[in-house]
Amino acid sequence: MTSISQQSSLDERQSEHIDGVSGAARLGMGLAEFIVTIAVMTASIALAIDSMLPALPSIGQSLSVANANDTQLVIGVFLLGFGVSQIFFGSISDAFGRRVVLLGGLAFFTLGSFAASQAASFETLLVLRFLQGIGAAAIRITTMAVVRDCFGGREMARVMSYVMIVFMIVPIVAPSLGQLVIVYASWHWVFILIGGIGAVLFIWAMTRMKESLPPEDRLPLSVGAVLSGFRTVLTNRITCGYMIGLTLFSAVICAYVVSVQQVFGEVYGLVDWLPIAFAGTAGGIAVANFANGFFVRSFGMRRISHAAMILFTLLAAIGYALSLAGTPAFAISYLLFSILLMFFAVIATNFTAISLEPMGHLAGTATAITGFVSTTGGTLLGAGVGQLFNGTLQPLFGGFALFGLFTILATLWAERGKLFTHPGDKDAAHEHGGAHM
C-alpha cells in the first residue's frame, strides 16, 4: 500500500496539471456551476450566522436573557459546535468519500434548524445551535476538500476567490432577510427559513454532485491511519504556521460578527441600519476576493496576503489609538472596519490555500485539523473580545491589532523569517505566466 507521504506527493503532482475546466469536470460540472454550487453550500453556514444578527434582541427579550452580551452566544455557540466537530469529518470523508458526509451534514443542519425554531428556552436554543453547527462543519469540511480534490496551488486560490464572491452575497442580504422576518413574524421563522434552504441544498447535492474522491484514493478509517494523517499535518511547518494565522483571523471575524449588532445599535444608535451597514462591509469583502482572484496568479498568494496582514495590523492599531481618544465618528469607524474586513478576506482566502497546499492527498484530514483549530480557537478568542464590549470600540480595534501582530509572528516562523516570497512562487509564476482568466 502506498504510504501517506507518497500519496500526498502524487496528488500534488497531479493537481499541477488540472486546469479550471477539467477540475470542475471531476464532479460532472462546468466551472461556473462548480463555483456556484460550492459557494451556495458554504454560504448556508453564513446564512445561519448573519440572518440571526437582527433577531438577537428579540431572542433575548422572548427568552428572558438578562445580560445583553449573552445573546452573542447564539452566534458563538454555533461557531463552537462548527469548530470542535470539524476534526472528525475530515478523516471520515477521506475514508468514505465527500458526498455521503456532505449529504449527512446537510440533513443534520436542516433538522437542527427546524428544531431550533421550536426552542422554548434560551438553554435549549443554545444546545440546538451547537448541534446545528455540527451539521455546518460537515458541509464546510467536505466542500473545502472537494475544491482541493479538483484544484491545486494558485488555481485553488483563484477558484476559492471566485467561490467567495458568490458566497459573500449571503452576508450582504442575510441580515436584511432576518430583519424582514422579524418585522412580519417572530424570530422562530428565521430558523424555519434556514431549514427550508438547507432542505433545498440537500436535494441539489443529491441530484447534481458526484463523488470527487475515487475509491482507490481513499484512506482506511483506522486509528493508525488517522494518527499518521494527523502527524503529517501537524509536523508540516507551513501548514501549522498558516493555521495559527487562520486561527487569529477567525478570531477577527468572530469578534466583529458577535459585536456588530451592539456596535451599530448601542454605540452609534443605528440599529435599524444594521442590515445596510453590514451589507456594505460584506460587499467590500466580495470586491477584495474578486481582486485577489484576478491578481493572485500574477503576484502569488504570499506576496498579496503578507502585505495585507501588515497593513491590517497597522490600520487596526490606528483604529485603537483613535478609540482611546473617544468614540470616532461613524464614518471613520465604518471606513476602518470596511477596509480591515477587505484585508481579512484576502488573508483568510490565501492562508487557507497555502496551509492546504502541502497536504495534497490528505485534503480532508488537513481541512479538518486546520478548521478545528482555527474555528474553535478563533471562536473562543473572538467571543472573548465580544464579551469585553463596554460601549466603546477599544476592545474590537485592540483585539484586531493584537491578532494581526501575532499573525505576522506566526507567518515569519512558518516562512523561516522571509515574507513576500517563496521558492515555489517563482516556479508557479513561470508555469502560469501565459494563462488567462
Domain spans, the chain? 4-8+19-431
In order, the DSSP letters of 238-278 are HHHHHHHHHHHHHHHHHHHHHHHHHIIIIIS--GGGHHHHH
pLDDT at 319 over 70: yes
Give the up-direction half-sphere exposure of residue 378: CA atoms within 13 A in the CB hemisphere: 32
CATH number, domain 4-8+19-431, options 1.20.1250.20, 3.40.50.620, 3.40.50.720, 3.40.109.10:
1.20.1250.20
Residues 338-361, mean pLDDT to the nearest whole number: 87
393 — pLDDT class (breaks 50, 70, 90) = very high
| Cell numbers that stand for 160 in this block | 476559492
pLDDT at 137: 92
DSSP structural state of residue 187: T
At which residue does the C-alpha cell 481618544 appear?
325
pLDDT at 200 over 70: yes
pLDDT at 429 over 50: no
pLDDT at 363: 65
Q: Which of 84-93, 108-117, 296-305, 382-391 has the highest mean pLDDT?
A: 108-117
Residues 36-58, mean pLDDT to the nearest whole number: 89
With a pLDDT cut of 90, the percent of the chain lying above it is 36
pLDDT at 279 over 50: yes
pLDDT at 204 over 60: yes
Residue type, 53: L
In order, the DSSP letters of 61-126 are HHTT-SSGGGGGHHHHHHHHHHHHTHHHHHHHHHHH-HHHHHHHHHHHHHHHHHHHTT--SHHHHH
Size of the chain, expressed as the number of residues it contains: 437
pLDDT single digits (tens) 170-199: 777 888 889 899 989 899 999 999 999 999
pLDDT at 293 over 80: no
20 — pLDDT class (breaks 50, 70, 90) = very low
pLDDT at 6: 41
**Which of these ranges, 16-25, 72-81, 223-232, 289-298, has the smallest mean pLDDT?**
16-25
| Cell numbers that stand for 111 in this block | 433538522
CA dihedral angle for residue 120, residue 122, residue 125, residue 126, rounded to 10 degrees? -160
pLDDT at 139 over 80: yes
pLDDT at 9: 42
Please give the residue that has the higher pLDDT: either 75 or 366: 75
